Chains A and B, each alone.
Chain A
Amino acid sequence: MDLISFRDLTKEEVEDYFARAEKMDKQLEAGEVEKLDGIVATMFFEPSTRTKLSFQSAAERLGLQVVDFVGATSSLKKGESFEDTIKTVDGYADIIVIRHPLEGSARLAAEFAEAPVANGGDGGNQHPSQTLLDLYTLKKMKGDIGKLNVHLVGDLKHARTMRSLLYGLAMFGAKVKLVAPMGLEMAPDAIADVKKLFNAEIEESDEIDFKGADVVYVCRIQEERFEDKYEALSVKKKFTIKPEYLEGVKDDMIILHPLPKIDEIPPEVDKSKHARYFEQAKNGIPMRMAIMKKMLNKVQQKKPKVSKMFEG
């Protein structure tokens, strides 16, 4: 049982993840986490701070051991194929968590590995564990996701978090407004896909106006995406969430961000009651615990434990 893309999940499966994460939350709160036995391999072929740490922390809280494959210093540099790398690591671990700059890498890893694979981000495609934790956060903070008016703001073209989240929000029937500078809009194929799959209500704009929004989900605009540095600076300025943007917004509107954030949200906004991204990041722990626990249950049902293989 892999976790590769939101396109593979049903609403019922996502709700099952919510229930499992809630259970994990309760166990964490009570300080009574049911411990598991197994090894998680984290394979990050491109830099990551939060996702990797979050998976590792979640694994440790479950009592799992973590082995880390450092892509840059590995045999990949010697020219080993992706297939060989995955098959080798598959022999070392019960769960593989992978991040890779190429799209479809997690799907391919799952084809090669017997161990379940969790996609920690494949190029600009999907980041399903982030979307699960984002939706779980929305459910915890706001209740019914289907009744929410959500603004996705920033570079929607390159951010896999946003592409993945668009599927998740559409699945639950949220109203989505895509707010991006010209040239960094959400890929039309993703918009068409969610409209077809979920009959989703999607609005597009390049103007920031948070009045009426229940949730504002922000991601960074990277200067390197622009050839013209002056244009980059003016777009970045416009898409920085200034305190005045919060005037007249709903009292209970929340601002989320996948983190790390750089300068797109100034410290004044951090201090506002609307800023909830650090709580959001914390929700990554119970959700990733839930994901790995579910995977491990399937593994234990499917194949004998290593210790049993060596018995008499």
Chain B
Amino acid sequence: MRMAITVDTINQGTVVDHIQQGMGIRVMDLLGIDKSYPHRVALVMNVGSKRTGKKDIVKIEGILVSEEKTNVIALVSPNATINHIQDGKVVKKSHAELPEKMEGVGKCPNPKCITNHERVSTEFTLDGGEYRCRHCERKFKAEELV
């Protein structure tokens, strides 16, 4: 017997689609969605995808994810698409792109970097496809930062 899971459509909010399989939870983390979020949120994992085999989807009611946050999603899922929904319709569709600069997002993987020892905000700048930490000046792959 085939079992179907139905997830309600949302009227106002954001649907993050084509998330790399298993990264849906990380996307929610990056968007700051946790138990305190007051509106409906759906995380659907391991959905069939023609393009990638399997994918995750996150539906968030109530917020239109900003371009800045859209790009942060690229750190964990470079092929994700972000759909803004208004009145039940897709009004804007964009692709996550690695941001040129990130402030306060991501953790420096260098254990000797001061940002891992003091309560300070990190800052990374894209440099040749990788991110350089403003403080320790080392370079890392995007996925290492989250």
Give the interface of A toward B (CB within 8 A): 5, 7, 81-83, 100-105, 107-108, 111, 122-126, 187, 189, 192-193, 196
Contacts and interface: CB of A to CB of B under 8 A. Distances in A.
B135 to A, nearest CB: 3
A188 to B, nearest CB: 10
Nearest to A105: B114
Given A102-B113, A196-B128, A125 B118 contact: no
A104 B128 contact: no
A103 B118 contact: no
A144 to B, nearest CB: 28
B47 interface: no
B112 A126 contact: no
Contacts of B120: 83, 108, 111
A126 B112 CA distance: 13
Interface string B103-136: 0000000101111011110000000100001111
Contacts of B135: 103-105, 107-108
Contact of A102 (B112, B119, B133, B137): B112
Given A7-B137, A108-B135, A125-B136, A102 B128 contact: no
B138 interface: yes
Given A103-B110, A107-B134, A189 B118 contact: no
A103 B112 contact: yes
Nearest to B122: A104
Contacts of A103: 110, 112-114, 135-138
Contact of A125 (B115, B117, B119, B137): B137
Contacts of B139: 189, 193
Interface residues of B, number: 17
8 contacts: A5-B137, A81-B118, A83-B119, A103-B112, A108-B120, A123-B112, A124-B112, A126-B137
B137 A104 contact: yes
Contacts, number: 57
B119 A104 contact: no
Contacts of A124: 112
A252 B120 CA distance: 49
Nearest to B134: A107
Listed residue (A7, A102, A122, A196) with the most chain B CB atoms within 10 angstroms of its CB:
A102
Interface in B1-21: none
B129 to A, nearest CB: 11
B116 to A, nearest CB: 8
A81 B119 contact: yes
Contacts of A83: 118-120
Given A81-B119, A108-B120, A196-B128, A100 B138 contact: no
B114 A100 contact: yes
Contacts of B112: 101-103, 123-124
Contacts of A196: 128
B118 to A, nearest CB: 5
A7 to B, nearest CB: 6
Nearest to A187: B138
B137 A108 contact: no
Contacts of A108: 114-115, 118, 120, 135
B117 A102 contact: yes
Nearest to B135: A104
A103 B112 CA distance: 6
A101 B115 CA distance: 13
Contacts of B117: 82, 102
Contacts of A125: 136-137
